[in-house]
Amino acid sequence: MPHDAVRRHSLAGLGCRFPAAALLVLAGVASAQVIPFADRPWDEPNLPRNLTEAERAYLELHPLVVPEAADAPTGDVYCPGEYEPMDGICFAWEQFTTQLTQLIRWVTTDGNARAYVYVDTPGEQSSVSSTLASAGANMANVVFRVRTTDTVWIRDYGPRYIYEGPPGAQVRAIVDHTYNRPRPNDNQVPDDFAAFKNHASYDIPLIHGGGNYHLSSLGDAFATRLIRNENPSLTQAQIVQYWRDYQNLETTLTNPFPTSIDSTQHIDMWMQVYGDRQAVISDWPLASGSTQDQICDATAALMAGNGWTITRLPAVSSGGVHYTFTNVLLCNDLLVVPSYTNATAAAYNAQALSIWQGLVPGKTVRQLNGQQIAQSAGVFHCIAMHVPVAPGGSTPTAFLRTLREGGQVQQGQSVTIQWSSDDDNGTVGADILLSTDAGQSFVPIATNTPDDGSYVWDVPPGQPSTGAARLRVVVRDAQQTPGSDESVVNFTIGTPCAADLTTGAVAGQPGYGTPNGVLDNNDFFYFLAQYAAGNAGVADLTTGAVAGQPGYGVPNGIINNEDFFYYLTIFAAGC
């Protein structure tokens, strides 16, 4: 769920990604260089994965701008690898529709996952739906999202997922970078998907293309130093720290390929992580000793030295096209490997397929013609973005963000309670509850409020003060299956009475030793018991100083008569 510390985008937010002047016609550039689409390069049809001439001209006058650094995720963060269980794959229906049709068919059948398909209009949705149904896709697993996109390259601009929160309270969330292309509709997709799925979205202040990142679920990740060129105001250490802060990953940066070999300089064009510290890396049988071969060899050696199992796959460059067999689509028990019709590359189709089949026994390995996509500087990994499964499966999960680890509120104060929730099919409502006895019992604050991640609690003026308050949020799905999370330590309401120590419960029962906002004999006898037992956490109350002197009311690690008489004083004073 979104909350104040989670940066959210909207169409109005284009100004922070693209300056307002970026939406003006570049009359000077267009007239001087006569570059088609120079004023609105994202309108050029069939945009490749790399920058076009028009986009380069546009960026010279209007460089990309990242939002200011916002708060990183607040809970524990786990970033799943692509080989982890997946809920679905995001696609954008723009180009290469023959290949998209096959990929969606296989993802929804062999992969047993959803295909989240972005289409530009309701009319396009109807047409695409007919195409996919005719091709044999499992339409129960096809989820359409009607929203304009600029390109098919959703790997580079789509939602990058993490799990946020401790075990049992994990929820999915998105880490959103600024797309390294002037393609504003694409750049807004993560925000749209976050709103669609009711997930939090965090702005990481990096210009980036998502295909320049591979990771293991064990916490190590890789990118090329293209990221440094895209963010010249940041040091390499700062870039790595951002990924550490937002995704809990330790990132190794490698040299990028020469642009004459790969115009994107993305690492997914020559590496794929397919298991915990298991990866394939390209080899260059026809260009041994070349710059790209040296980069691959050095990276393979580095990773092997760090305990990785590395397998090499052939790659070639022919006719100005980079042909790679590492750029695959992995989804649960499905793996789709490219094949090519170019004679030089086609000579390695069978070898690459055989290697992959040996690496992933038990998975369905498909091979699909990627020739046309490769000619636009990508293959299957580049046109797909992974969405991991809901952490609780069919059982909802919740992550309480407000007053989770202490704090203080006052009577009469309006407090915004914030949380996130997750479920395989979404949630429908939430309850907010309050405990004033350290979680022993709860009473409702709100019942069946919309599960929008935020509720304003007007603390009643007559709410008793306590230092043992806790919150609990309970969310439910359409089947009324609940999931919950609560404060892990007490927070304070008002100014608690120092002499209020317990309820009327006897030792060993719930409530014993928990303040309840009522001062009576139970508190006095509880103090006596703790004093006699030498429990310094309760009975050590003061030094030997008298009232008004320094040290009065300050514990000193010693239990003696001064503590007893101090308690008598505050008990007699009442609350």
Confidence (pLDDT) at 34:
63
Q: Whole-angstrom Cα distance, residue 469 to residue 476?
A: 24
Q: Whole-angstrom Cα distance, residue 371 to residue 365?
A: 18
Closest CA to 427 of 417, 419, 416: 419
Q: Whole-angstrom Cα distance, residue 317 to residue 91?
A: 27
Token pair 């339409």 is found at: 139
pTM of the shown model? 0.86
Burial class (CB in 10 A: 0-12, 13-18, 19+), 195: middle
Would the CA dihedral through 70, 75, 81, 83 be positive or negative? Answer: negative
Report, as ranges of residue numbers, the positions in the chain whose pLDDT lies below 50: 1-32
**Strand order across the 334-339 sheet:** 329-331, 334-339, 364-369
Q: Are 174 and 199 in contact (CB under 8 A)?
A: yes
Q: Whole-angstrom Cα distance, residue 382 to residue 66?
A: 23
Confidence (pLDDT) at 559:
96
The backbone torsions φ and ψ at residue 221, rounded to the nearest 5 degrees and listed phi first, read -145, 165
Torsion of CA 300, 257, 181, 40, to 10 degrees: -150
Write down how long the chain is: 575
**For residue range 110-156, what is the model confidence (pLDDT) as tens digits?**
999 999 999 999 999 999 999 999 999 999 999 999 999 999 999 99
Query: Radius of gyration (Cα) for the chain, nearest Å?
Result: 29
Q: CA separation (Å) from 325 to 171, 280, 314, 328, 372?
A: 34, 9, 7, 7, 14
Confidence (pLDDT) at 21:
33
Confidence (pLDDT) at 18:
35
Confidence (pLDDT) at 176:
97
Which structural domains are found in the chain, ordered by start? Answer: 11-18+75-388 (3.75.10.10), 397-493 (2.60.40.10), 499-575 (no CATH)
Closest CA to 177 of 227, 115, 119, 232: 227
